[in-house]
Amino acid sequence: MSLHGKRKEIYKYEAPWTVYAMNWSVRPDKRFRLALGSFVEEYNNKVQIVGLEEESSEFVCRNTFDHPYPTTKIMWIPDTKGVYPDLLATSGDYLRIWRVSDTETRLECLLNNNKNSDFCAPLTSFDWNEVDPNLLGTSSIDTTCTIWGLETGQVLGRVNLVSGHVKTQLIAHDKEVYDIAFSRAGGGRDMFASVGADGSVRMFDLRHLEHSTIIYEDPQHHPLLRLCWNKQDPNYLATMAMDGMEVVILDVRVPCTPVARLNNHRACVNGIAWAPHSSCHICTAVADDHQALIWDIQQMPRAIEDPILAYTAEGEINNVQWASTQPDWIGICYNNCLEILRV
């Protein structure tokens, strides 16, 4: 089904609350389906699943469910062939795995990495392994990263089909860990990196967890909030510091020396998304100047002066996500709005 001919460049959805976490579904039969998490400063929060009705060109809310605390991240199972159950993961106080159907969303399992106490250290982020969707990694303010194994066996009858267990837990940083992401290097299953309040980017290999590699340290030791691997070239990753106005591009083959700095923003960057289909395009988003910028970094290591595309939203952008299976589309959220932009 093609939207060409009557397809708009921008579609907008207004949620009943401020939108923070947001992500695209990757299932081939669920184009233009996204999950949105509310940001309400209290215990009771929500997640909505919305879809674009391709006939009417309007977004429709398919499902709303309750979520304790705001979701720090939301992600659909990276299952482009549709062979696994239709699962959604959220992080907050715990990692939760939800099963999505056309009529309802049901909690399948709640994964608590602190088995020996009732206290839980909030999860700042997580990543779902694209090569092996039975692996997820979470990052926490308690300085650890936890790698989870998921069992999604198909069982006849109504049995809780999805369960999870801790495969490994490691102290990843000296301070809080703010983000974790699996790398596509070396087969794409065992390598991951993390960033945190100690201002470092560290790389780990699940086969050799006794040591890690520091890829980069912020010169002022500012906390690093996000990291994002290039989707086509596993040598490159991007990171950004708290209250920093630039995005730093790193090459793991040349540790500790950025190969590029994207610093055209007039305010702090708070979102990064690499293009799924190109190794040299990256989108950065900024709250205060309301802008999402797309950069071409082909010139590296020569300085990259200006973005090739700029979009100004009507509010402070909280999140940006480039659709992995529909590379013409980027989602941004600001205030209570989700917009998808054709690029």
What is the token pair recorded at 29?
């039969």
188 Ramachandran zone, left/alpha/beta (phi>0; psi -120 to 50): left
Predicted pLDDT at 1: 31
Residue 5 pLDDT > 50, yes or no?
no
What percent of the chain shows pLDDT beyond 70?
94
CA distance 165 to 152: 12
Q: For the purposes of burial, counting CB atoms within 10 Å of the CB of 95, is it exposed (0-12), middle (13-18) or buried (19 or more)?
A: buried
Distance CA 330, CA 343 (A): 7
- Per-chain mean pLDDT for the chain: 90
- pLDDT band of residue 305 (cuts 50, 70, 90) is confident
Write down the pLDDT at residue 331. Answer: 96
Task: State the burial class of residue 41 (Cβ atoms within 10 Å of its Cβ: 0-12, 13-18, 19+).
Answer: exposed
**10 Å Cβ neighbour count for 171?**
11
User: Is the per-residue pLDDT at 188 higher than 90?
Assistant: no
For residue 116, the model assigns a pLDDT of 63
Contact assessment for residue 36 and residue 27, using Cβ atoms and an 8 Å cutoff: no
Distances (CA, A) of 262 to 281, 296, 308, 312, 332: 12, 10, 12, 18, 19
Task: Check pLDDT > 70 for residue 159.
Answer: no
Q: How confident is the model at residue 186 (pLDDT cuts 50, 70, 90)?
A: confident
Give the pLDDT of residue 7.
Answer: 60
Tally Cβ neighbours within 10 Å of residue 40: 15
Write down the pLDDT at residue 118. 64
Q: Which residue has the higher pLDDT, 32 or 303?
A: 32
Residue 99 neighbours by CB distance under 10 Å:
18
Question: What's the sign of the alpha-carbon dihedral 267, 72, 34, 329?
Answer: positive
**pLDDT on residue 301:** 79
What's the pLDDT at 163?
Answer: 76
Over the stretch 107-153, which tens digit does the pLDDT of each residue have? 999 988 776 666 678 999 999 999 999 999 999 999 999 999 988 76
What is the arithmetic mean of pLDDT over 281-295?
90
Confidence at residue 21, expressed as pLDDT on a 0 to 100 scale: 96
